[in-house]
Amino acid sequence: MTKKLFEVKVAPTLLAQATRVYLANQRQASAKTKSRGEVEGSTRKIYRQKGTGGARHGSIRAPIFVGGGIAHGPTGGQNYTLSMPAKMGRLAILGALNQKMAQKAVMVVADDETKLGKTKQANKWREKAEIKGTMLVVAGSGQEGWMRVFRNLPGVATVKTDSLNTYMIMKYKNLVLTKKALAELSKRYVN
């Protein structure tokens, strides 16, 4: 059952698409600029229509002037969300897991949380396991202890199986799964 979880090969474009969808959905439309109708300033005609030798202008708030409104700027109402079919999302996760397995960067550990009571012990375990680089710890439901002891270590992220996504798998160099997490992933993604 676990073999099938790591055996699905997918095109790199699918992994890239899944990553792009995830990152786009994290984006917030918080940038906003003022248009010429929102900028403070007089509505008086800035100089007479004819006879100045310059171009005709009616408003100091036009985008052409310093301090004027911004033409076509962000309004704060942009929608950056993207969607992806559920089947493609599942395939992308399986493909990312396959890629990690091919890189020999997957480790499955026993569920015994009593050995890892403190972050200091988790750090010692990491050194003993000789895990170099960043690490993603995937815990099963009800395994908050695993997340608690690892979450404060630098270069380590923790996630539950129901929140796992392609971007997180790709971002971190090493993947550490508990046996319960592995069983949950197999149940969820392997038919």
Predicted pLDDT at 98: 92
Predicted pLDDT at 20: 96
Predicted pLDDT at 115: 66
Give the residue among 64, 67, 59 at the shortest CA–CA distance from 39: 67
- Measured CA to CA, the distance from residue 124 to residue 102 in angstroms comes to 26
The residues of the chain scoring below 50 in pLDDT are 1
Predicted pLDDT at 142: 84
Domains in the chain, ordered, with CATH? 2-9+84-189 (3.40.1370.10), 28-79 (no CATH)
As given in the structure block, the two tokens for residue 149 are 């002891």
Q: What are the distances in angstroms from CA 11 to CA 81, 98, 185?
A: 23, 11, 21
> What's the whole-model pTM score?
0.80
Predicted pLDDT at 88: 93
The average confidence (pLDDT) of the chain is 89
List, for residues 122-133, the tens digit of each pLDDT value.
888 888 888 888
> Quick one: how many helices (H) and strands (E) in the chain?
7, 4
Residues 6+ apart with CB under 8 A from 115: 121, 125
